[in-house]
């Protein structure tokens, strides 16, 4: 087992993992443009980065991240947009390895969203010492909804 930074030649696996995660969550029609994703991750001005989890030479999962910044803490942190471990590799510690590596990369906050009602994930995050942020509601403003 191990965690490493993704490389440009991982783009097919990265997109496949995202599509598999979407299907696992009931969205079976997600198909990502590999070239566009490669530009966002590995182009001249990357917008995000990925950690890959491997087990016995196979890609087992990933954490898809970007940097954020807390004005009140005056330090950068990590936004974890997506974490996914393929079902065959779950319960082997890979999710914990991915999150531990993220924790080691910043002295700031590591933050993410979780769907309500996902009790298994909530229990896993609690074991790490992570906790929900009380009193905050996430908003999303998409270009197609702008007035």
Q: How far is Cα 54 from Cα 3, in angstroms, rounded to an integer?
A: 6
Q: Of 125, 128, 135, 147, which residue is the catalytic one?
A: 125
Find the helix or strand (DSSP H, E) in which 77 lies: strand 75-85
Helix and strand element counts for the chain (H, E)? 4, 5
Contact indicator for 52, 18 with CB cutoff of 8 Å: no
- In degrees, rounded to 5, the angle at the alpha carbon of residue 120 between the alpha carbons of residues 87 and 124 is 95
Indicate if 24 belongs to the active site: no
- Positions marked active-site: 125
């Amino acid at each position: 087992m191990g965690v490493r930074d993704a490389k440009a030649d991982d783009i097919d696996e990265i997109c496949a993992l995202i599509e598999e995660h979407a299907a696992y969550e009931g969205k079976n029609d997600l198909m990502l443009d590999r070239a566009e994703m490669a530009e966002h991750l590995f182009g001249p001005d990357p917008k995000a980065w990925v950690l890959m989890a491997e087990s016995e030479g196979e890609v087992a999962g990933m954490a898809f991240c970007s940097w954020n910044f807390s004005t009140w803490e005056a330090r950068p942190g990590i936004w974890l947009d997506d974490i996914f471990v393929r079902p065959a590799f779950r319960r082997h510690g890979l999710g914990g390895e991915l999150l531990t590596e993220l924790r080691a990369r910043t002295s700031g906050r590591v933050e993410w969203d979780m769907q309500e009602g996902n009790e298994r994930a909530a229990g896993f995050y609690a074991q790490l010492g992570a906790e929900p942020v009380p009193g905050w509601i996430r908003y999303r403003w998409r270009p197609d909804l702008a007035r």
